[in-house]
């Protein structure tokens, strides 16, 4: 197998461009519930890059990305911080290991969250990206309520992904690539489980195989995110304007 370096697969990109590409690639994977959704990307100085409110995920560019402090206050940018950002603020306070966090309401993930059930992975595409999934019954108050957000983040524990009952999904990782891979796999896992169960059921991946996948940090499948990002750059080369920053 040929080992590819990410630098050979994408142009030199800055963190704002990476946030844009994460949003656009995931929107095409079903993370497209109108104005819903938040992405936070922790920077080395302790600030966070955040997608802007009220722009949908396929219309904002690098110049629209906000800078936010650890308490959710906007430091720079021409738009507003998303209303549901307390969930991210709470999680980042509790989890130093989380660099990138993403929340949205994809159809199949939200369906299983509403049912209060985590489906098993029936195929390897549904397990790529690794990590653990938990169910969090956190929908006790408004999305901008910090107490409710802290309760949800606490209930998530050390899990990498969560189905938020009566709400949506939450995916974390150390890189943009990892969160993209995990988010795609989680929605596929829920979608494929829906279809498998609709035709009478099937056999999930064997537990030893599932366990092997769970140990992945989501950052090892070099090429998957990059391919989807290149597709977005072909559709909208303006993402590259201004170069890395």
CATH 3.40.225.10 for domain 11-234: yes
Cross-strand bridge partners of residue 102 = 39, 171
Residue bearing tokens 């021409």: 78
Whole-prediction pTM value? Answer: 0.94
Torsion of CA 68, 13, 178, 34, to 10 degrees: 60
How much is the average pLDDT of 211-220? 88
The 10s digit of each residue's pLDDT in 119-148 is 999 999 999 989 999 999 966 777 678 888
Q: What is the arithmetic mean of pLDDT over 8-29?
A: 96
Angle at 184 between CA 178 and CA 189, to 5 degrees: 120
């Amino acid at each position: 197998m040929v080992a590819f370096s990410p630098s050979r697969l994408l142009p030199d990109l800055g963190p704002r461009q990476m946030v844009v590409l994460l949003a656009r690639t995931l929107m095409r994977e079903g993370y497209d519930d109108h104005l819903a959704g938040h992405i936070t990307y922790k920077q080395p100085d302790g600030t966070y890059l955040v997608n802007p409110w009220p722009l949908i995920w396929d219309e904002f560019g690098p110049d629209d990305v906000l800078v936010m402090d650890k308490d959710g206050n906007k430091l720079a940018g021409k738009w507003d911080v998303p209303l549901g950002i307390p969930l991210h603020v709470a999680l980042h306070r509790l989890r130093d290991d989380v660099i990138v966090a993403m929340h949205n309401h994809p159809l199949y993930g939200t369906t299983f969250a509403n049912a209060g059930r985590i489906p098993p992975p029936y195929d390897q595409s549904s397990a790529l990206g690794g990590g653990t999934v938990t169910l969090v019954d956190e929908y006790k108050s408004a999305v901008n309520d910090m107490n409710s957000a802290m309760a949800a983040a606490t209930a998530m524990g050390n899990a990498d992904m969560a189905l938020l009952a009566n709400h949506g999904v939450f995916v974390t990782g150390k890189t943009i690539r990892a969160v993209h891979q995990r988010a795609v796999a989680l929605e596929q896992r829920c979608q494929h489980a829906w279809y498998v169960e609709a035709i009478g059921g099937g056999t999930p991946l064997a537990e030893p195989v599932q366990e092997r996948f769970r140990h992945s940090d989501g950052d090892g499948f070099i090429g998957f995110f990059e391919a989807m990002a290149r597709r977005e750059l072909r559709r909208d080369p303006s993402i590259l304007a201004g170069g890395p920053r």
